[in-house]
Amino acid sequence: MVNPSRGPERLVRAGQWLIALLFAYFLIQVGGALIADLPLLSSQPRLEQYLDQPRVAALETELQPLQSRQQALQEQADRLRERQQQASQAYGREKASFDNWRSARSVTEQSEQNPEVIARARQLDGLLQQQQQLSAEQERIEAQLRALRASLAPPQQQLGELRAQAEGRWRQAVQRAELRAFGIRLLFVGPLLGLALWQFRRFRGSDQWPFVWGFLLFGLFAFFVELVPYLPSFGAYIRYGVGALLTFLVGRALIRWLNTYLARKQQEQVAPQEQRQRSIRYEKALQALGRSQCPSCERSLPRRDGVLPDYCMHCGLQLQHDCSQCGFHHYACFPYCPSCGKPADLAPERLA
């Protein structure tokens, strides 16, 4: 099939798309930097701002000596427990050794009043006493620790309440900040997207189209990247509400577009053959025929031996005709006869 674009035109067209993308890229960078520099968006509320600082400080100074005393006592108790364990093990070992020794001796039937027996029994007693002393000391320290914990509890509870209150106020402040940040972003991005869509609708057909497309991409990027992720998440209402609204708007726009398209096609089809031929742009006609489509009604056409029919069977548009000078059979949209070069009777404006 004949390619409708001229040689350098294809290259220039690719270059124009590159221009559109580059234009969008630089606008996106500028827009992103601008939004990032907004002072109202960078300040986040901090939890400490909502604490009753003097009261917290007073409670902490009250707690501090008690807590260090608690730590010291705890360490002391740990050390005692260790010593007690050692003492208990030492007693166990000594007792087992004494028992063995005594049972070995009883075989030889010597007196229990032997000084060696008495000395060893005393040693065992001493070990037992040491163990008992350690136990008593441990109990004393545990009692001190319990008393300390009881006096620690009220200020600790007050501190916890203060922190919980501050956290509640802080969460509310964070939500307000999110909402405000979203509002500010909306103030920037909303009009930008509106402008981008409006200029796209009006000027996309102009020869400035790379800038029109670039600006549209910029607007869409700003909407989806700089606005949508910052939708405040108060439950799912806003997020899904916006989703539903957008779907509704896009759906309605599609239905409207389809209706106008069908109405336009119907109007085109009732016009006389000559006027219909004139109204179709040359490039568009060649592209459509290349895809085996009718240039007017855009329905598909069957090829017989690679050749399209003379008339569209869907709308009646004449697709091929004979040259009035040499009789050569060719596409009706060609501005010149490919055989004899006679200019077509129809549509000089189709030469565009």
| Closer residue to Zn ion, CB minimum distance, 240 or 336 | 336
Phi, psi of 307, rounded to the nearest 5 degrees? -110, 135
| DSSP notation for 27-88 | HHHHHHHHHHT-HHHH----GGGGS-HHHHHHHHHHHHHHHHHHHHHHHHHHHHHHHHHHHH
Q: Closest distance between Zn ion and the C-beta of residue 267, in Å?
A: 14
Phi, psi of 237, rounded to the nearest 5 degrees? -60, -55
Q: Closest distance between Zn ion and the C-beta of residue 288, in Å?
A: 9
Q: Closest distance between Zn ion and the C-beta of residue 307, in Å?
A: 16
How is residue 183 written in tokens? 């509002």
| Closer residue to Zn ion, CB minimum distance, 227 or 315 | 315
Stretch that binds Zn ion, among 41-49, 62-70, 192-200, 316-324 (CB under 5 A): 316-324
Q: Applying CB under 5 A, does 328 fall inside the site for Zn ion?
A: yes
Q: Closest distance between Zn ion and the C-beta of residue 272, in Å?
A: 15
Stretch that binds Zn ion, among 55-63, 116-124, 172-180, 324-332 (CB under 5 A): 324-332
Between CA 99 and CA 294 the distance in angstroms is 115
Residue carrying structure tokens 């592209």: 287
Q: Applying CB under 5 A, does 337 fall inside the site for Zn ion?
A: yes
How close are the terminal C-alpha atoms of the chain, in Å?
19
| Closer residue to Zn ion, CB minimum distance, 198 or 328 | 328
| Closer residue to Zn ion, CB minimum distance, 130 or 320 | 320
Between CA 23 and CA 198 the distance in angstroms is 18
Q: Which helix (DSSP H) or strand (DSSP E) does residue 155 occupy?
A: helix 115-203
Ranges within 113-152 binding Zn ion (CB under 5 A):
none
Helix (H, G, I), strand (E, B) or coil at 232: coil
17, 297, 311, 318: which one binds Zn ion (CB under 5 A): 297
Cα dihedral 152, 154, 156, 157 in deg (nearest 10): 150
| Closer residue to Zn ion, CB minimum distance, 168 or 309 | 309
| Closer residue to Zn ion, CB minimum distance, 55 or 342 | 342
Query: What does the per-residue mask of binding to Zn ion show for 257-296, with x meaning CB under 5 A?
Result: -------------------------------------x-x
| Closer residue to Zn ion, CB minimum distance, 19 or 297 | 297
The site that binds Zn ion (CB under 5 A) totals a number of residues, namely 15
| Closer residue to Zn ion, CB minimum distance, 337 or 346 | 337
Q: Applying CB under 5 A, does 332 fall inside the site for Zn ion?
A: no
Stretch that binds Zn ion, among 137-145, 245-253, 255-263, 332-340 (CB under 5 A): 332-340
CA atoms within 13 A on the CB side of 84: 14
Residue carrying structure tokens 């040359």: 282
Comparing CA positions, the residue from 307, 295, 284 lying closest to residue 5 is: 284
What are the residues binding Zn ion (CB under 5 A)?
Answer: 294, 296-297, 312, 314-315, 317, 323, 325-326, 328, 337, 339-340, 342
